[in-house]
Chain A
Amino acid sequence: MIEVLGRNIFSPLGADLEQNYRAVRAGKSALRLRGDDSGWRGIPDRAVASLMEDGFVLEGFSRFESMVISSVSDALSSSGVDPESPKCIFILSTTKADVEGLEQGDSQYLSPAAAARKVARHFGMVNEPVVVSNACISGVAAQILAARLIETGKYDTAIVCGADAISPFVVAGFSSFKALSPQPCRPFDIERMGLNLGEAAATIILGRSCTAVRDSRSERGMTADEKDRWYLLSGALTNDAYHLSAPSPSGEGCFRAIVSALSGFPAEKLAAIGVHGTATMFNDQMESKAIERAGLSEVPLSALKGYYGHTLGAAGVLETVLLMRCLEDGVIPANRGFEEIGVGGKVNIVPEELHTDRKAFLKMISGFGGCNGALLYSREPADYELIAQADAHSAEGVNGSGTNSWTIGHKVRITPVGFELDGISQSFDTPGKPALTALYKQHIGDYPKFYKMDGLCRLAFVASELLLQDFRTAETGKAERAEASELTSTDVLIFNRNSSIAADREHIATISDPGNYYPSPSVFLYTLPNILTGEIAIRNGFTGETSLFIAEDGGVCDEILEASMASTDASRILAGWIDYRDDDSFGVDLKLYIRNQIA
């Protein structure tokens, strides 16, 4: 069982969880219109946003890194967890990390993986950290990853920090999507006009509920307060396989994530649902549909973006720990910004604060790339039995014929000069990016959306097509691609080192000259590296987990794959390394793993 050992929120509303909790109870928010008539920080776009005041930046660290370090440091202080332990891993959840350094020039920039390593070293951590970059769902996905890695036994504790700094980069991008509200956002309200951006870091430290961790706590003279103890009962990740930037109107992927995380857990035991509640028309409508379909219409909703805005990579962690803290006092916080219901699905949301004595909650979240996530937390250890039984049942049912061993079905490697499919290699006539177009024309040719993709996605797309094209013709045939039984059975787990650096540079080029400021929504979309997993999901109808991990070193990636194999229901996993630094420097090492069936 996974237990919560430490928590923090570092935001414009306070430097620790108590300050944030009190500010939210008092109805405070840092959402304000930023900039003036000439714009904000060098771009013409102004925005209502929740931003840190100056003065928190630590010497030798960027704004982003300073938020992360402050948050992790405070969460560690009362946790009894030793960050230097060889059984502790650091997981950073972020969409754009230090990208505001890239806006100022290359010399100021650290990649997300390098920033995570810098923070890990600051705390004396010995293990290689990993970055989860699944757009808006990163914070929930990172907690699920933490639980999986702890369950393998390699780690006892995982420090999960979600953070993003708000810079012209993200403001220009969301503005080009026409997603920003000119007023403080109004989640689920009839008058909602879009989201606000917010910057924050939030940390949750998870650990195995075992005597080893407890002993180290008591050695340090700390006793775990029963009241503050929370257990992560279950979590789930899905993909809509519908659209890169719009959620499925029926909330299909979101619905499946909720149902899977609940695993039969009774709705009557839920104190609240922590919704994503971005206050965009599409998101809130979709969530209401998914909640109604899941039979959770009576459970009160908690939407926190009216206090913080959308804190991107921090959101899944921040909203989880704040709701926990509120429920410890028996409170579901007021839904700031909400007045009158403006969604089609039947949901239970009210403006004012509510009281509850229930001890469990569901956190749900959805994001660009079509990904969805859900977590189930409870303060009653006995609740775990409800989930454990459900899991045992599904092990006999859905996966009854499956084993926990996997075979490599196919493998593909691509470099700028050639590719190798299942051991047979071929050189490109023209090396570099044009080779990807040539590969597309020669082997695929029926998907014009290919030309809309950035370099990283083109690379991922042709690699996945080479793997799956062969798989389909050999075993199922192309025509059967969308057959229902195939849909839920493939996860996509991609690792890389350089995030979306090529698209990041392209987006910056469209916003750096105020006289020629035309940020492009399609360019900005590809600055979310997990978009490549969404492209693969849409093309193939894959509705399982789609995740993107960034790391400096491949070792931790092997651990993640192993942990995923042990926990997934999927019958296939498309996994491997896809990296694209620029048009002449890229690489793929991708494999299709197939679960062995019992003979």
Chain B
Amino acid sequence: MEELIYKLKEQIIDALNLEEITPEDIDDNAPLFGDGLGLDSIDALELIVILDKHYGIKIANPADGKAIFSSVAAIADYVSKNRSK
């Protein structure tokens, strides 16, 4: 799980162009939206693309993303249970 979490952080930093942030800067359990990393609704849609592209997970309704994307640990948990690649 730790490896997946680190990989996800790298993928998030890359896809969202979080230029001045390293995986070490992101707390596994900190909120990604609002305060935390300050991600917004377009970033949430970009996270949906990450899950599709790297893990074969399709999320049709962006509203479902709210719970899944609450933190990197939450994403890792969801990915490990639902991934198809």
Decide whether A and B are members of one complex.
yes
B35 CB-CB contact with A under 8 Å: no
B77 CB-CB contact with A under 8 Å: no
Q: Which residue of B lies closest to A518 (CB)?
A: B53
| A178 in contact with B45 given A243-B40, A518-B52 (CB within 8 Å) | yes
Count B interface residues, CB 8 Å.
19
> Cβ of A246: which chain B residues have Cβ within 8 Å of it?
41
Q: Which of B3-11, B14-22, B26-34 contacts A (4 or more CB under 8 A)?
A: B14-22
A428 CB-CB contact with B under 8 Å: no
A448 CB-CB contact with B under 8 Å: yes
Q: Which of A229-237, A352-360, A520-528 contacts B (4 or more CB under 8 A)?
A: A520-528
- B54 shortest CB reach to chain A, Å: 10
**Chain A interface helix/strand/loop/mixed:** loop
Q: How far is the CA of A519 from the CA of B52 in the complex (A)?
A: 11
- A596 shortest CB reach to chain B, Å: 39
Q: How far is the CA of A520 from the CA of B42 in the complex (A)?
A: 10
* Contact call B19/A451, Cβ cutoff below 8 A: yes
> Cβ of A178: which chain B residues have Cβ within 8 Å of it?
45, 48, 60-62
A452 CB-CB contact with B under 8 Å: yes
* Contact call A521/B46, Cβ cutoff below 8 A: yes
* Contact call A451/B17, Cβ cutoff below 8 A: yes
Q: Which residue of B lies closest to A244 (CB)?
A: B42
Choose from B19, B53, B62 the contact partner of A448 (Cβ within 8 Å): B19
A406 CB-CB contact with B under 8 Å: no
| A522 in contact with B41 given A178-B61, A451-B19 (CB within 8 Å) | no
Q: How far is the CA of A390 from the CA of B53 in the complex (A)?
A: 56
- B82 shortest CB reach to chain A, Å: 18
Q: How far is the CA of A525 from the CA of B40 in the complex (A)?
A: 14
A109 CB-CB contact with B under 8 Å: no
> Cβ of B19: which chain A residues have Cβ within 8 Å of it?
448, 451
B68 CB-CB contact with A under 8 Å: no
The B-contacting residues of A in range 375-414, CB under 8 angstroms, are none
A176-B45, A244-B42 given; 5 more Cβ-contact pairs under 8 Å: A177-B45, A178-B61, A243-B41, A245-B42, A522-B43
Chain B residues proximal to chain A, CB less than 8 Å: 15-20, 40-43, 45-46, 48-49, 52-53, 60-62
* Closest A-B pairs by Cβ, 5 of them: A451-B19, A521-B45, A451-B17, A178-B62, A518-B53
Chain A residues proximal to chain B, CB less than 8 Å: 176-178, 243-246, 448, 451-452, 518-522, 525
